[in-house]
Structure 1
Amino acid sequence: MHYLLLTSSVMALIYITAEGHIQVFQKPRFFGVKTGRTVRIYCVASNPSLPTRVEWLKARAYKGHPNPLKTDHRIIKMDKTSIRNDSITIKKVGFEDSGIYFCRLNNTLGPGTELQVSRHSDPESVLKRSRIKDLLIFLQGFLLALCAIVPVVWLYKQEKKEDAVYEEPEVDHTYEGLEIEHCGDIYEDISTLPPGPDAVWEVELPDQE
């Protein structure tokens, strides 16, 4: 009788200890899918024989505070059976489904499964966006080059205008071709003209004072 009580106490203690230190595993740990896909996240206990109470939570990041996950026609919770573990299925995922999903068994939180949803695109759309991006890069480079060249050209034209304003005047060539020898002959001819009443002017010689 004493052995029976002792055995029962040990079994109960082992059960309580195992229940208090249950380990929770999730698989997969990461999902990266396109929009419109269907994903399934599994929650597995370290001791499958123990009765468990499963809760699903969602957070924006690993360090964020997880909130209870609401199920609907897209997000379906599936309980554990003899042939499968607890899981959730998310149909037709969208951007709003991205986040960290946690399962909690008997108040023990799992490691979490990250779900990243990206936009689905076909090769033609990707090529078209790439060409548009290249065109925008070319236009930006052209505008930058234009902004750098225009001020230089403007300054060059301003300097040319200033040089034209301060340019030296052309040399006056009024007396060009008139040599000094010819000037001497003119003065001698003027001095030998005879004075007369009809003369407009006369030259006074030094000895006529």
Structure 2
Amino acid sequence: MRWLLAGYFGLALISISVAVQITQWPRFYGLNHGGSANFHCQLSKQDPAEHHQWYKAEHYNKAKVQIKADPRFEIHNSTRGCSLSIHELREEDNGVYFCKIKQAFGPGTELRVTRPFNRKQALYRTQMKDALIILQGLLLAVYIAAVLLRKRTLSEKTDSIYEEPETDHIYEGLTIETCGGGLYEELSVYAQAEGAEAPWE
């Protein structure tokens, strides 16, 4: 008899778990820092509100931690579902949120909170990046100009080494008569008579 009652009880639990289907939305939330997020779970049939709970995990496959109601986290229950509201969102609120009803978890909703935006810091970083880009451009231009100037200087030095010296025409414009004919040596003393043989022949 006991085994029969246990079997009926098990079948009842299985039928309840199969009959109750959980729909959770939205599946993803991307919100700004300081905003508010609302998660909803709906049941396929009515169920007492005291069975509704909310859990948070870092990722879908990580351990789940139950959420307790406080000024930032508001939990609302009804016979057909439940909802979770998070106010003044922070970066540590990032994670996956699950509703739990009768030992069954919903599919989960992933929440991603963006970092707070500081306009002054963003403008300062942009100006610094622009200044660095301009400075890099100027340094590159100076380097290229220095290389070209160095190359030109070396080329001029090489040309000056191989340049032929100019010929000084000292006697340019003088005539033979001015020299008096003394520039040519008389070679008659070395002349031999006709028909004479050279000593080396």
* Distance change in 2, residues 1:129/1:115 (3 Å): farther
Give yes or no for the alignment of 1:73 onto 2:70.
yes
Change over 3 Å in CA distance of 1:159–1:60 after alignment to 2: farther
1:177 aligns with 2:172: yes
Structure-to-structure mapping, 1:189-208, within 5 angstroms: 189=182, 206=188
Shift of 1:171: 0.5
2:127 corresponds to which residue? 132
5+ residue gaps, structure 1, are 1-10, 192-202
Q: Identify the residue that residue 19 of structure 1 maps to in structure 2.
A: 16
Residue 199 of structure 1 corresponds to which residue in structure 2? none
Aligned-residue offset at 1:68:
0.6
Q: 1:116-170, CA deviations, whole angstroms, 9 ceiling, x for partnerless residues? A: 2124548x65994695377258427625853772464255235335425524143
Paired residue for 1:149?
A: 144
Counterpart in 1 of 2:99? 103
Q: Which of 188, 191, 203 does residue 181 from structure 2 map onto?
A: 188
Counterpart of 2:62, as a letter, is H
Instruction: Assess if the C-alpha contact under 8 Å between 2:56 and 2:67 holds in 1.
Output: no
Q: Could you tell me which amino acid in structure 1 is paired with residue 167 of structure 2?
A: D
Deviation per CA, 1:82-122: give whole Å up to 9, x if none: 5x732222121012212221222222221111222124548
Q: Structure 1 residues 166 and 54, CA, compared in 2 at 3 Å: closer, same or farther? A: farther
Q: Distance in 2 between matches of 1:67 and 1:144?
A: 56
Return structure 1 stretches of 4+ with deviation > 4 angstroms: 11-15, 124-127, 203-207
**Contact 1:57 1:101 survives alignment (8 Å):** yes
| Distance in 2 between residues matched to 1:205 and 1:163, nearest whole Å | 48
Q: In 1, Cα distance between the equivalents of 2:54 and 2:97?
A: 7
The aligned length equals 182
Q: Any idea what SS the aligned residue of 2:98 has?
A: strand
In the alignment, is the contact (CA less than 8 A) between 1:43 and 1:86 conserved in 2? Answer: yes
User: Which one is further off, 135-144 or 105-114?
Assistant: 135-144
State the partner residue of 1:49: 47
Q: Normalising by the residue count of structure 1, what TM-score does the alignment of the two structures yield?
A: 0.62
TM-score, normalised to structure 2's length? 0.64
SS of residue paired to 1:78: strand
User: What is the match of residue 40 of structure 1?
Assistant: 38
Note the alpha carbon deviations across 1:33-64, whole angstroms, 9 max, x for none: 211112221222222236763342323344x4
SS, match of residue 46 in structure 2? coil
* RMSD over equivalenced CA pairs, Å: 4.1
Q: Percent of pairs identical after alignment?
A: 20
